A and B are shown apart, each in its own frame.
Chain A
């Protein structure tokens, strides 16, 4: 932790606990003092996102608005501040992204895509509002039609193939309680082909291992009750090698650490029962050092610009490590555990 440049004394958490009777002016922050999660600041930050309507960026990111809403809402849930957002406003917004083809776009008027469809369903599930969807059959059909003969899913009708879309399709159908033998068999078959010799998984068969793809593949297999297909010793080893000396995790060999991998790597390790195979204390301080203590939010690494994506995945990573005061997150669904508990688990038994 670099010493802050200001002359302002920084009060350690111990100082805050012990109160003014032990007032000592601390000129610099000692590296071993733990930084704390600035919960209140992060809640304020997430709340502020929808008020920046005078910024150009607000409009340039409309294609991610529904995803962003899911990231923000889930972060708030994990911070135990779900009520920060107005439920009926959010549900109304989600339904305004619903298209005639049955899927959801990321913003009213934007095309349907599996990525935004999953975000919509996750939000509706959090709010117990799945019944807002007028025709579930049509939505199921929209998703199922994107499955290809080899079991993979394309993100939309234009044919991009990626294990990310298998995960989004499978979780979407799981939320709807509408998984089917055909979808499951194809998905499992395709995911199995994306497994690499190093224990990681790629975006398609023959593609290099990547932490985010490991999450989508292992997550899909977890939803489909097929974790027997994962070589947990080898995959666990590859994932644990993602931790760098500074504590953060990376996405591939030889790349820089990034807070979002706190989620992709850690959730995968948790799913295969190897959560403890990395150093918690070091990762925790890497995430906490990436906070913006002035305006809230978490960035990809210390001293970078924050965004709601890294804010969620930083907080979710801390939650997996059992950080005090956070709501437990489900590593498979990236939803609060009490929300994912509502999902009907495969295989269905009447």
Chain B
């Protein structure tokens, strides 16, 4: 049950409701048992068909009755009606389903039945169906069923030898996005079309040059992200655009790195504007995107971006506390990825004024008096000092015999206790 306000009825009110419902309840139960009997005896006729209409009007989730109804179509109507009559019956059924869908747009069984009717319709008009999907998606532009159903309808129309509708669908997503930037369903649908368009529609100037295409797409996103920088749909789509192999491998490395740097500049700018507007508070999605882009630049150019990534992660630990533990894990990975030797870790960690993570194995020990890293098997004393050090700062040691992982706050390095 979703989205229905809670009410607490008094006993009296409950009694009154039961009284009101009593006749309806009786009618429903007798209808139900009548139908189950008919169904059990494989009764396929006009009477049983009518009764399924009645019960499905009362209860559109009664999947068994949708099944029974389909069996009646196949075993009775199809056998006894002329093609023309059968067609008309199916058209009428589409009208019946539409009424149910308008009332219950999220009931799987109704969508499922509609699809079955069209697939078994002697003369299905999938193009008209597309018009209906358009209407339904105007009423609720994020309806999950609606979008999925749309993809099926499109595939059917394409199957009827019309050829690819990717261009039309691309235009549709543009229209939906322009109406509402936050419609991730539209952005997602768009992402499934683009790789095909770029490889198959080189005749169209918009898709001829991949670099130009991405640049245009980025401009569209810029508009959206400046309109509402907190909207995650836009950022998730940008992430796709910057990381998908289609683009990574489809344009030259120079172009790709140029694009990344350009976008990094843009996101940084937006982030600064946001900070100015919000009393110094930076935008979380800008920070997340900066990390993504920096990492990609690092991958492409081989440059060490760990410091930049770390700064952004440290900010996010503060600014986006819901996901703090994710950023801490990422910080750890950042170290593992970027820092080659253990002595580097140690050197960096004592100089950083941030929240750091050190990963040490039993073969890499820090002499806590001198700060010198010693590779070898720990002696009992070293091991004890190490455990003591970690526990001093309230972090846990995972002391299986060869790995210690602990967290420390570097300001504690000034602590005279160690």
Contacts and interface: CB of A to CB of B under 8 A. Distances in A.
Contacts of B112: 158, 160
A306 interface: yes
Interface string A248-278: 0000111100100000000000000010111
Contact of B3 (A208, A276, A304): A304
Contact of B232 (A203, A254, A294): A254
Contacts of B29: 59
Nearest to B37: A109
Interface string A75-113: 000000000000000000000000000000100011101
| Most B CB within 10 A of own CB, among A156, A159, A241 | A241
Q: Is the interface of B mostly helix, strand, loop or mixed?
A: helix
Interface string A309-324: 1100000000000000
Contacts of B129: none
A296 to B, nearest CB: 12
Contacts of A105: 64
Contacts of A216: none
A208 B322 contact: no
A265 B174 CA distance: 30
A336 interface: no
B25 A56 contact: yes
B364 interface: no
B326 A274 contact: yes
Contacts of A54: 18, 25
Interface string B52-92: 00000011011110010010000000000000000000000
A301 to B, nearest CB: 8
Contacts of A189: none
Interface residues of B, number: 59
A240 B62 contact: no
A300 B5 CA distance: 10
A305 to B, nearest CB: 4
A109 B1 contact: no
Contacts of A56: 21, 24-25, 28
Contacts, number: 136
Contact of B326 (A62, A156, A236, A255): A236
B240 A198 contact: yes
Contact of B322 (A111, A245, A305): A245
A158 B8 contact: no
Nearest to A310: B1
B412 interface: no
B148 A207 contact: yes
Contact of A197 (B36, B108, B240): B240
B127 interface: no
Interface in B148-188: 148, 151, 182-185, 188
A253 B5 CA distance: 24
Interface in B234-278: 236, 239-240, 243-244
B142 interface: yes
B400 interface: no
Contacts of B322: 240, 243, 245, 278-279, 282
| Most A CB within 10 A of own CB, among B7, B40, B182, B184 | B184
B42 interface: no
A128 interface: no
B6 interface: yes
Contacts of B191: 197
B363 interface: no
Interface in B102-119: 108, 112, 115-116, 119
A58 to B, nearest CB: 9
B323 interface: yes
Contacts of B3: 300, 304
A12 interface: no
A158 B323 contact: no
A207 B2 contact: no
B303 interface: no
A253 B228 CA distance: 14
B4 A305 contact: yes
B192 interface: yes
A209 B184 CA distance: 10
B116 A253 contact: no
Interface string A217-256: 0000000000000000000110011010100000011110
A72 to B, nearest CB: 14
A292 B25 CA distance: 27
B104 to A, nearest CB: 12
Nearest to A295: B8
B323 A60 contact: no
Interface string B29-40: 100100010011
Nearest to B25: A56
A122 interface: no
Contacts of A197: 191, 240, 243-244
A254 B142 contact: yes
Contacts of B226: none
A59 B28 contact: yes
Contacts of A240: 322-323, 326
A255 B142 contact: yes
Contact of B231 (A113, A254, A292, A305): A254
Nearest to A197: B240
A277 B326 contact: yes
| Most A CB within 10 A of own CB, among B40, B58, B59 | B59
A192 interface: no
Contact of A305 (B7, B25, B32): B7
Interface of A: 54-56, 59-60, 62-64, 105, 109-111, 113, 156, 158-160, 196-198, 203-204, 206-210, 236-237, 240-241, 243, 245, 252-255, 258, 274, 276-279, 282, 292, 294-295, 299-300, 303-307, 309-310
* Top 7 closest pairs, chain A to chain B, by CB: A276-B325, A277-B326, A307-B1, A109-B36, A253-B184, A110-B64, A279-B322
23 contacts: A56-B24, A56-B28, A59-B29, A59-B32, A60-B59, A63-B59, A63-B62, A110-B63, A111-B63, A113-B63, A204-B148, A207-B151, A208-B188, A210-B144, A243-B322, A254-B184, A254-B231, A254-B232, A277-B329, A279-B321, A279-B324, A299-B6, A300-B3
Given A105-B64, A209-B188, 8 more contacts: A109-B64, A110-B64, A113-B63, A196-B188, A237-B326, A254-B184, A258-B2, A303-B6
